[in-house]
């Protein structure tokens, strides 16, 4: 059986390298490439891949939100998170979003092949450097969780926050999300109220710190 893969990364050189290496394996075929999370969501529906190799820090819609939305609409798809971030917050939220594997970008390429084949068998795959982070997080799971952007804001509010942090105007955010300007303004007010942050500059810093955007 051929494993159909979609690549999602905002760096073309990374996508090109992954495609070249993946296609050396007869049981893997790359169906397409996405340069941001929103395009990944669209292509997942259009191409019906078995696996999406997903970067976390992408513009428009980050990998965590893209994973959450893809799996909500297409629960049969498997997600491999491929990221430079080993921080427990990124790992934890990506796994909560439904990713079946989490690898660091500095891992050996053969590890990605192993991860893809492993999750296609219904198993979870974690890089050795990530496993300890997940275990530590699990051990602390009975303690009160620290407030995070993922627990405080709704899915749509996180989308609005990311787009605002990336410098888009209210009108541009409305166009991206296909909603009215008034709706975006309401979301912005709710975001600021929930987070007790009252300037775009501070919201941008918060979004970067929480991993919604790398800008």
Right CATH number for 3-139 from 3.40.50.2300, 2.70.70.10, 3.40.50.300, 1.10.150.120? 3.40.50.2300
Which of left, alpha, beta for 112 (phi over 0: left; psi -120 to 50: alpha)?
alpha
Q: Domain spans of the chain?
A: 3-139, 149-209
Over range 157-167, report the average pLDDT: 91
Environment class of 97 (CB within 10 Å of its CB; exposed 0-12, middle 13-18, buried 19+)? buried
pLDDT tens digits along 34-81: 999 999 999 999 999 999 999 998 988 999 999 999 999 999 999 999
Prediction pTM value: 0.76
Judged by average pLDDT, the poorest of 72-86, 92-106, 140-154 is 140-154
Evaluate if residue 111 carries a pLDDT over 80.
yes
Tell me if domain 3-139 and domain 149-209 are identical in fold: no
Identify the bridge partners of residue 53 per DSSP, sorted by sequence position.
7, 80
Cα–Cα distance measured from residue 91 to residue 192, given in angstroms and rounded to the nearest whole number: 26
Cα–Cα distance measured from residue 22 to residue 30, given in angstroms and rounded to the nearest whole number: 7
Judged by average pLDDT, the poorest of 59-63, 161-165, 167-171, 200-204 is 200-204
Task: Return phi, psi of residue 31, to 5°.
Answer: -80, -30
Class of domain 149-209: mainly alpha
Other C-beta atoms lying within 10 Å of the C-beta of residue 103 = 22
């Amino acid at each position: 059986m051929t494993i159909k893969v979609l690549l999602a990364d905002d760096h073309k050189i990374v996508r090109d390298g992954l495609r070249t290496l993946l296609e050396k394996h007869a049981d893997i075929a790359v169906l397409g490439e996405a340069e941001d999370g929103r395009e990944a969501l669209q292509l997942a529906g259009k191409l019906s891949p078995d696996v999406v190799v997903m970067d976390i820090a992408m513009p428009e819609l980050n990998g965590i939100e893209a994973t959450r939305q893809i799996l909500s609409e297409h629960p049969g798809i498997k997600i491999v998170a491929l990221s430079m971030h080993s921080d427990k917050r990124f790992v934890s939220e990506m796994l909560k979003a439904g990713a079946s594997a989490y690898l660091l970008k500095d891992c050996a390429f053969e590890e990605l092949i192993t991860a893809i084949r492993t999750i296609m068998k219904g198993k979870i795959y974690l890089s050795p450097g990530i496993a300890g982070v997940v275990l530590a997080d699990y051990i602390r799971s009975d303690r009160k969780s620290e407030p995070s952007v993922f627990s405080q804001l709704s899915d749509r509010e996180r989308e609005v926050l990311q787009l605002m942090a990336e410098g888009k105007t209210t009108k541009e955010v409305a166009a991206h999300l296909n909603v009215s300007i008034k709706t975006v303004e309401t979301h912005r007010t709710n975001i600021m109220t929930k987070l007790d942050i009252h300037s775009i500059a501070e919201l941008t810093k918060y979004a970067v710190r929480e991993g919604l955007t790398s800008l």
